[in-house]
A and B are shown apart, each in its own frame.
Chain A
Amino acid sequence: MIPEAGHFALILALTMALAQAGFALCGAWRGRVRWMQVADSAVTGQLFFVTVAFGVLAWSFYSNDFSVAYVAENSNSHLPWFYRLAAVWGAHEGSLLLWVLILCVWTMAVELFSSELPEAFRARVLGVMGIVSAAFLLFMLATSNPFTRLFPAPMEGRDLNPLLQDFGLIAHPPMLYMGYVGFSVAFSFAVAALLGGRLDAAWARWSRPWTLAAWTFLTVGIAMGSWWAYYELGWGGWWFWDPVENASFMPWLAGTALIHSLAVTEKRGVLKSWTVLLAIFAFSLSLLGTFIVRSGVLNSVHAFATDPQRGVFVLVLLALVVGGSLAVYAWRAPLIRSRGRFDLLSRETMLLFNNAMLAVAAVTVLLGTLYPLIVDAMGLGKISVGSPYYNMVFVPIMVPLLVLAGIGPMVRWKVQGAGALARKLRAALLASGVAAVVALWWIVNTSPEAVLGLTLAVWIAWTSLQGVFERLRHKSRPVRALRQIPRGFWGMTLAHLGIAVFVAGVTVVSTFGVKSDLRMAPGDSFDAAGYTWRFGGVHPVEGPNYTAQEGSVTVLRDSTVVARLRPQKRTYLVQRNPTTEAGIEAGVFRDLYVSLGERLPGDGAWSLRVQYKPLVRWIWFGALMMAVGGALGATDPRYRKLLARERAAADGRGEVTV
């Protein structure tokens, strides 16, 4: 009976979502406060019922109820309990449920933290979110019910995809979804503002913390995915330009553009219609990402859950949400007036360039992801677009963007004298020049990319720190001035420093990384990157639901043991496909990485991939810095103070905010 209760809870949640959308939008339209209050209750009710459904599914996994088809497909009684719980979102149906649960959490957060917004605007936001939620619940109930029963119930489940049995996968999808779905808030704010005809600086300020919060989660989610691919796919790469990765990268690029253009709209009241469009794009790309991953339109190594029939429904959903919001845009955007002028050399222009380049980058990834599909749809056969395409087109877009990341924050709003800017940048230019020369001298087989990358990293780091310094320079009490720097500014500085760390990591690991594919017999040793790697042979080990061949590799430096690595080749008992668990010795400045290949003919010989990866951690650490920067920006107390002040002013004037 318990799974049926979950199913029933989902149906109730759908009615709640419809009530939320209907009452909120009609209430805002007709100016009925009561109706809008009904929508508030519906938000709470929906969160309750979706949580119940999620809890029921989790319980079905925990208690090994294989009469539930989804559990039987994705779990096994030998699976450790924490993987059984993580298996809830290990495939299509459950990840949709997680998607909706997260949407409900975001909606609840909007309801709780937006009591100071004008009621009609707030109701429209909740209404738009209700439509999105209803569409997803309908999708789930119509095509992907996680509670479908199997009769007769099998004795044992088919187990979770072994690649997913890992800590990275417990946390990666929820983080990613927090980001994806979080953009629905910025999206709903934009559509609500379009509907209400009130697109102003206040709207941008209300959207900013939400957008930053979503962007923070997405950044963490992508970084975790990259980290997971690094140690779990056994390949030592950290980014594959796989369609699924691209699906998360596109909304990230659009979201990054959005947090910058929202700043312009808030501070200067310009670029409004562009900002609204970006908010729609960011969420649309999130939806497209869900569609690409879930429908089988594009295949990839990630093809965990593909089903073309569901794609039709997703397409209808996309048409409704994206098409609908773009239609609203076409209808209402002509009313938007952007006042305010700015010079060619001004912060506005810098951020406009930032937006242009990020948008081009997003379109580039979109094209690369969809190109195989376009070619196929035109009947020209099937092709795949790999990393050569992206490396070729991405670098030329990113280099000016990174240069700009150094200049932009130095430039004043509205107008900036060229001479003053040049004086400000003198030191940074000098530092970068020195870095370039050092890099040239240091890198013996000069690779232009490496010199460029390191120079840019120094450039961004220097200018970011200089920005902090300039805020203190003319102050009589620097320590006090330091404390007065707004949190949002720290956020920006940290995020930009994160870019520098990231760029340094990417550059160094791709230039100085050492990779060797070896054939090794027990007792063999190999010298690479200043280390001696000694292979001790392979022996079988047993896990709870797999058997594995475990190799042992001792790494020595100057005859002292640095690390003992234990790479594994696992065969899971139920699904029988092999997975690799790389043996990694992690460090701030380098990773030592060994993955086990295949048994080779001969006396216990194996193929091994030995890698020395300098600064590889900096890639994820840089991403983490960006995320912390985003979190600092999102929690800047300024937003709440201004909101309260606006509200008080409105009350004082006796205005009706409905």
Chain B
Amino acid sequence: MKRFAVPVIVFAGLLALLAVGLKLDPRRVPSPLIGKPAPAFEASSLHDPSRQLSLADLHGKVALVNVWASWCASCRQEHPYVRELARRGVPVYGIDYKDARADAVDWLNTLGNAYVATVFDPRGRIGLDWGVYGVPETFVLDANGVVRHKHIGAIDDRSLEDEILPLVRRLRAEATK
């Protein structure tokens, strides 16, 4: 008798899980990192394995950290906007997430490297600390290295003009005060 009840019990557990999952909408609940200092990291540079990059490299300026990967289709769609940000003088740092070094370098060579520097994160360790849910994601850091905003998904026309650039301007104004 009892073993026939197993499916319904397992299902009840699953249902409870889904109910909790519903409350955690990835789009509405902001990242717990917002308002907190960015998680520290120390890892090799994508282009130069012997060079170590760390959070300290970002300090002192308003910067964007863009998590991307060469296997990610939306990153390719997003890349022109990253270039556009770089063109407008916003420093963008990259985290190359769960990727192969050769593929990633290749990708940047064809699409144009717009990053000030890219950290190589082949196993997704840094991504885990940063609460990366999927690629691409973009974090906006203020001059004190505090995460001020997280954009999930590819940056497009609208999020560039209405969301990211105004925030960068505001954070820069804050920093000079």
Contact = CB atoms under 8 A, between A and B. Distances in A.
Interface stretch (A106-114, A124-132, A183-191, A379-387): A379-387
Main secondary structure of the interface of B (DSSP, over half): helix
B111 A323 contact: no
A335 B154 CA distance: 55
Nearest to A336: B4
A384 to B, nearest CB: 4
Interface stretch (A85-93, A245-253, A291-299): A291-299
B4 A330 contact: yes
Contacts of A382: 26, 131-134
Given A323-B12, A373-B17, A601-B112, A297 B22 contact: yes
A315 B15 CA distance: 7
8 contacts: A308-B23, A318-B18, A319-B15, A326-B8, A329-B7, A376-B24, A377-B21, A598-B80
Contact of A598 (B22, B79, B135): B79
B51 interface: no
Contacts, number: 115
A301 B74 contact: yes
Contacts of A308: 22-23, 25, 28
B73 A234 contact: yes
Contact of B111 (A273, A319, A377, A597): A597
Interface residues on B, range: 35 or more
A399 interface: no
Interface in A115-147: none
Contacts of A299: 26-27, 133-134, 152
Contacts of A166: none
A306 B28 CA distance: 11
Contact of A318 (B15, B24, B74, B112): B15
Given A235-B73, A311-B18, 18 more contacts: A315-B15, A315-B19, A315-B22, A323-B15, A329-B8, A330-B8, A334-B4, A370-B17, A373-B18, A373-B21, A376-B21, A377-B24, A382-B134, A384-B134, A386-B71, A517-B110, A598-B80, A600-B112
Contacts of A600: 110-112
B101 to A, nearest CB: 15
Interface string A255-293: 000000000000000000100010010001000000100
A601 B74 CA distance: 21
Given A382-B131, A383-B128, A578-B77, A330 B7 contact: yes
Interface in A27-45: none
Interface of B: 1, 4-5, 7-8, 11-12, 14-15, 17-28, 71, 73-74, 76-77, 79-80, 98, 106-107, 109-112, 124, 128, 131-135, 152, 156-158
Interface residues of A, number: 51
Interface in A323-374: 323, 326-327, 329-330, 333-334, 370, 372-374
A141 B176 CA distance: 54
Contacts of A311: 18, 22
B148 to A, nearest CB: 19
B4 to A, nearest CB: 4
A518 interface: yes
A296 B25 contact: yes
A277 B6 CA distance: 11
B27 A386 contact: no
A457 interface: no
A600 B76 CA distance: 13
A527 B42 CA distance: 41
Nearest to B11: A326
A315 B22 CA distance: 9
B18 A607 contact: no
Interface of A: 233-235, 273, 277, 280, 284, 291, 295-297, 299, 301, 306, 308, 311-312, 315, 318-319, 322-323, 326-327, 329-330, 333-334, 370, 372-374, 376-377, 381-384, 386, 388, 517-519, 576-578, 597-598, 600-601, 607
Nearest to B158: A576
A234 B77 CA distance: 10
A177 to B, nearest CB: 22
B39 to A, nearest CB: 11
Given A315-B15, A607-B111, A296 B27 contact: yes
A359 to B, nearest CB: 12
Nearest to A322: B11
Nearest to A578: B77
Contacts of B106: 517
Contacts of B22: 295, 297, 308, 311-312, 315
A377 B17 contact: yes
B123 to A, nearest CB: 11
A382 B98 CA distance: 15
Contacts of A295: 22
The 9 closest A-B pairs by CB, nearest first: A382-B133, A326-B8, A330-B5, A333-B4, A377-B20, A384-B134, A517-B110, A373-B21, A311-B22
Nearest to A380: B128
Nearest to B15: A319
Nearest to B20: A377
A306 B15 CA distance: 19
Contacts of A322: 11
Contacts of A284: 11
Contacts of A319: 15
B67 to A, nearest CB: 11
B110 to A, nearest CB: 4
A277 B7 contact: yes
Contact of A329 (B4, B27, B112, B134): B4
Contacts of A277: 7
